[in-house]
Amino acid sequence: MEILENREAWQAAYKEGWLAHWRKTGETNWKIYNRPNHKTAPSGKGIDLSQSRLLLISSAGGYLPASQNPFDAENDLGDYSIRQFSIDSAPTDIAFAHTHYDHTAVNEDQQVLLPLRHLKEMVSAGEIGELAPQVISFMGYQPDAVRVVDECIPLIIAAAQAQNAQAALLVPS
Amino acid sequence: MEGIATTLTSWNAGRTRVTKPPRATFTRLSRGATIGRPHDTAQQKRVLKATLDLLAHDAPLDPVQLNEKVD
């Protein structure tokens, strides 16, 4: 199945509408943004989570400032790259480069967007088989759906496969 | 992601529903606190468990609305 349904029509509307307006005015006008509107959901078999490796995927813009570059959060056209960091990273080692949500809650309690402590407890309780060793992180401000499909998603899939993930939990911000 | 069972939770049912996720829970939580209120461990665990429980089922599933709110 297509990840982005009606890709060519979506891309034409994006280029002629939202993107053309941004190029002309420098404004990000969401009133004229055509959000993807899908008709079909992906199908797939259920799994026994207690026997599976679960991967956490976050769109909150998390990264390790000591060793990684931040996401380009100020770019009106988005950032389609990913970062990976250990599930054992100390909360104080993780920062968030994403200017499109209020960071008050995540600065107070990282579990609201990166629930690694809770997930580890579920592993200890036998509810989850194990966690994939790296969190996959991206910055969810990505207005170009075609670039999401062509750039970001292949990076996520490759990283997920490299970690032999059998299940994934996406936590958007 | 073909071959990888996926699930998500979202505070924004309107925008998420049209992307047709294979499995999803929806809440009335807020942007920047998707899993629950800060330090409300009980709520965070409820949201996580409900969302992860969907992985046991074949997809696609109809999204599940949770009675989880900001206040």
| Count of positions (residues) in chain A | 173
Coil, strand or helix at B66: strand
Size of interface A-B (CB pairs under 8 A): 140
pLDDT band at A1 (very low <50, low <70, confident <90, very high): confident
Query: pTM of this prediction?
Result: 0.97
Minimal Cβ distance to B22: which of A37, A42, A160: A42
Q: Do A46 and B59 touch (CB under 8 A)?
A: yes
Tell me the nearest-neighbour CA distance from B67 into chain A, angstroms. 17
User: For residue B1, is pLDDT > 80?
Assistant: no
Contacts of B4 in chain A (CB under 8 A): 55, 160-161, 165-168
Does residue B27 sit at the A interface (CB-CB below 8 Å)? no
Could you count the other beta carbons within 10 Å of the beta carbon of residue A45?
Answer: 9
Residue B2 has pLDDT above 90, yes or no: no
Smallest CA–CA distance, residue B9 to chain A, in Å, is 6
In this complex, do A43 and B60 lie within 8 Å of one another by their Cβ atoms?
Answer: yes
- Asked if A43's CB is within 8 angstroms of B59's CB, the reply is yes
CA distances from A143 to A9, A27, A33, A59, B64 (A): 15, 13, 9, 14, 27
User: Taking CA atoms, what residue in B is nearest to A149?
Assistant: B1
Q: Which two tokens stand for residue A73?
A: 């959060």
Tell me what the mean pLDDT of segment A123-147 comes to: 97
* pLDDT, tens digit, 9 for 90 and up, residues A76-86: 999 999 999 99
CA B57 to CA A45: how far, in whole Å?
A: 7
Q: In angstroms, what separates the C-alpha of A115 from chain B's closest C-alpha?
A: 8
* Model pLDDT for residues A13-24, shown as the tens digit of each residue: 999 999 999 999
A31-68 pLDDT tens trace: 999 999 999 999 999 999 999 999 999 999 999 999 99
Beta strands A53-58 and A130-131, pairing class: parallel
Q: Are B71 and B45 in contact (CB under 8 A)?
A: no
Take residue A85 and report the two structure tokens written for it.
């960091």
The residue in chain A having the minimum alpha-carbon distance to the alpha carbon of residue B46 is: A118
Kindly report the nearest CA distance between residue A10 and chain B, in angstroms: 13
Report residue B3's pLDDT band, with 50, 70 and 90 as the boundaries. confident
pLDDT band at A96 (very low <50, low <70, confident <90, very high): very high
What gap in Å lies between CA A33 and CA A54, rounded to an integer? 34
pLDDT at residue number A10: 95
Q: Which of A146, A113, A131, A169 is nearest to A3 (CA)?
A: A146
Whose CA is closest to A114, among B51, B32, B40, B56? B32
